[in-house]
């Protein structure tokens, strides 16, 4: 009887421990709402990955040094349902970004709104709060 009960508890502990491996990160856990950022740059690549898409954008800082940012977007299936496809935004397109930086100062990840520079058409937003839109 004790052995069976011990097995049940061990199994439950394993399941609960593995659930955190599949947990989704919180926006406030990775990004800092106190560090806003805006830039205009050129799309280098768009990665349709789960749980978010990522758009790599190359820009230049105030000193002219090339800087690469990785803009976190929404979930691929949500964007697909909205009509976006993998080829909707091609490398070479100029975009504007307004949002927040990652908490890690060495991170190139940013979260916010990405728009086409030519006409202001909103491409996608990260899953963060609309306050940084």
- CATH label of the domain that carries residue 121: 2.40.50
Above 90 in pLDDT, residue 9? no
Helix (H) or strand (E) holding 18: helix 2-19
Name the domain count of the chain: 1
* Mean pLDDT computed over every residue of the chain: 80
Above 60 in pLDDT, residue 130? no
* Tens of pLDDT, residues 37-69: 999 999 999 999 988 899 999 999 889 999 999
Does residue 62 belong to any structural domain of this protein?
A: yes
Does residue 15 belong to any structural domain of this protein?
A: no
Does residue 17 belong to any structural domain of this protein?
A: no
Does residue 12 belong to any structural domain of this protein?
A: no
Q: Which of 73, 82, 81 is nearest to 115 (CA)?
A: 73
Higher pLDDT, 22 or 3: 3
50, 89 contact by CB (below 8 A): no
Does residue 66 belong to any structural domain of this protein?
A: yes
In this prediction, residues 94-120 reach a mean pLDDT of: 91
* Tens of pLDDT, residues 81-103: 888 888 888 999 999 999 999 89
In this prediction, residues 64-75 reach a mean pLDDT of: 92
Q: What is the pLDDT of residue 7?
A: 52
Above 80 in pLDDT, residue 3? no
Does residue 10 belong to any structural domain of this protein?
A: no
Does residue 21 belong to any structural domain of this protein?
A: no
Distance CA 59, CA 65 (A): 8
120, 45 contact by CB (below 8 A): no
Does residue 41 belong to any structural domain of this protein?
A: yes
Domain boundaries, position 84: 27-132
The band of 20, judged by pLDDT with boundaries at 50, 70 and 90, is: very low
């Amino acid at each position: 009887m004790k052995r069976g009960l011990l097995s049940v508890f061990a199994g439950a502990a394993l399941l609960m421990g593995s659930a955190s491996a599949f947990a989704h990160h919180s926006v406030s856990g990775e990004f800092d709402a106190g560090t806003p950022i805006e830039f205009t740059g050129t799309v280098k690549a768009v990665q349709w990955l789960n749980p978010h898409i990522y758009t790599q954008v190359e820009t230049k800082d105030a000193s002219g040094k090339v800087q690469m940012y990785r803009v976190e977007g929404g979930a691929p299936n949500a964007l697909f349902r909205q009509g976006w496809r993998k080829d909707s935004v091609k490398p070479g397109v100029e975009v504007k970004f307004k949002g927040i930086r990652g908490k890690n100062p060495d991170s190139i990840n940013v979260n916010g709104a990405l728009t086409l520079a030519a006409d202001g058409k909103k491409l996608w937003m990260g899953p963060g709060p609309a306050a940084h839109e």
